[in-house]
Amino acid sequence: MSAMKTRVFTAGKNGIDEQEMAVAAEIIRAGGLVAFPTETVYGLGGDATNPDASRKIYEAKGRPSDNPLIVHIENFGQLEEIVAEVPKEARVLAEKFWPGPLTMILNKNEKIPYETTGGLDTVAIRMPNHPVAQAFLKESGCMIAAPSANTSGRPSPTRASHVWEDLQGRIDVILDGGEVGIGIESTIVDLTEEVPVILRPGFITLEMLSEVLGTVKMDPGIVDENSKKPPKAPGMRYRHYAPKAELTLVEGQENQVVSAINGYAEKLISSGKKVGIIATEETKDRYPEGMVVSIGSRNDEAQVARHLYQVLRQFDEWDVDAIYSESFPTAGVGQAIMNRLLKAAGHKKITV
Ligand code: TXA
Ligand code: MG
């Protein structure tokens, strides 16, 4: 792709400057690409109804074109415009969780091209809860298809500088809204099956969805790596969120985990390797060697989620040879944290 000049528009106290927002909106309407912040991670946006815009998104990310995009909307009427029918569950979930970090899979109509859905007859839809995203959707008047704004295979971006690192010269504009609040991608729930199925865990947990929907299942393909059926969301099949160095998770009772990680680290370091360690506030002072980063407190899983991708990118920057990480309990948001960590590790986990 020929290099283009990527402009960065930075939000002030009152959001993005009016004129700059108008420029970004015009670029989207004309089929260009604009990265923007959402409450989960930064998205790489293009007009969801324009097949050329979707093609450009795949090209800019280096993403396989069978991996569908999420359509971002600003009001419920837009959902009604693009789906074959609106199931009762969609209204209930929108009422309770939108705008917010929840994506629904529904049957699409002809308004959304197959280029946007990776050839599927279903479409992923989300109403983001971030003032810059909302203002941008409103100003453009478009529904905006947006995957996470990283190069395919790299950790999702939680700051505009991450987007710049990955996509500079490949997209028209980055709207810089500062650091995001949640830090892991939205929960995806599939409403096209008999029972709602979570295809990707996130900040909205299974428990929260069950409270309003009754029975909700977890896609077996994402829970059990040996499941016969692959994950239903194409994006959950790839090794993803991956740091450059090999990542290994270590699981077990806290003291044993710390001493095991110290043992592995010592061995590699003595053979001249650079080792990264993902620790917590509670344990960070107990690793005498290696490049130790605290991902947050064990008492605050939202903080752990918010820091996760940034920590993985940090180790890329430091160019470490191997990373060891502590593990986390899988209740609540922990489910999403462990899902992302396990994927980043290519499922390499040692139990001590
Ligand atoms: O929080 C988020 O969801 C962020 C922000 C930018 O909104 N977006 C995001 O998009 O994470 P992306 O493209 O990185 O992940 C979308 C996931 C992929 O795993 C994709 O396979 C899945 O959603 N997906 C999209 N449409 C689908 C569909 N029709 N059926 C099944 N899975 C779908
Ligand atoms: Mg992504």
| pLDDT tens for each residue of 135-154 | 999 999 999 999 999 999 89
Q: What is the rounded distance in angstroms from the CA atom of residue 326 to the CA atom of residue 114?
A: 41
Please answer whether residues 55 and 115 qualify as being in contact, where contact means their C-beta atoms are separated by less than 8 angstroms.
yes
Phi-psi sector, 112: left (phi>0), alpha (psi -120 to 50), beta: beta
The tokens describing 308, both together, are: 């996760």
**Per-residue confidence band for 240, with pLDDT thresholds at 50, 70 and 90:** low
Q: Which of 70, 125, 144, 333 to mutate to test the pocket of ligand 1 (most atoms within 8 A of CB)?
A: 70
Looking at the chain, the whole-number percentage of residues with pLDDT higher than 70 is 99
- CA 2 – ligand 1 centroid, Å: 27
Contacts of 103 (CB under 8 A, 6+ apart): 70, 124, 125, 126, 186, 187, 188, 189, 200
Q: What is the rounded distance in angstroms from the CA atom of residue 326 to the CA atom of residue 335?
A: 14
Looking at the chain, the whole-number percentage of residues with pLDDT higher than 90 is 91
| Residue 263 pLDDT greater than 80, yes or no | yes
pLDDT at residue 225, rounded to an integer: 74
- CA 47 – ligand 1 centroid, Å: 16
Residue 149 phi/psi, 5-degree rounding, is -90, 45
Mean per-residue pLDDT over the chain, rounded: 96
Q: What is the rounded distance in angstroms from the CA atom of residue 121 to the CA atom of residue 123?
A: 7
What is the number of other CB atoms lying within 10 angstroms of the CB of residue 179? 13
147 lines ligand 1 (CB under 6 A): yes
Q: Which of 33, 34, 79, 103 to mutate to test the pocket of ligand 1 (most atoms within 8 A of CB)?
A: 103
| Residue 131 pLDDT greater than 60, yes or no | yes
| Residue 161 pLDDT greater than 60, yes or no | yes
Closest residue by CA, ligand 1 atom 19: 235
Handedness of CA 293, 299, 305, 306 (dihedral sign): negative
Q: What is the mean pLDDT of residues 327-331?
A: 94
Of 67, 72, 68, nearest in space to 47 by CA: 72
Q: For ligand 1, what atom is nearest to the CA of residue 146?
A: 6
102: helix, coil or strand?
strand
Higher-pLDDT residue of 346 and 45 is 45
pTM of the model: 0.96
pLDDT at residue 1, rounded to an integer: 52
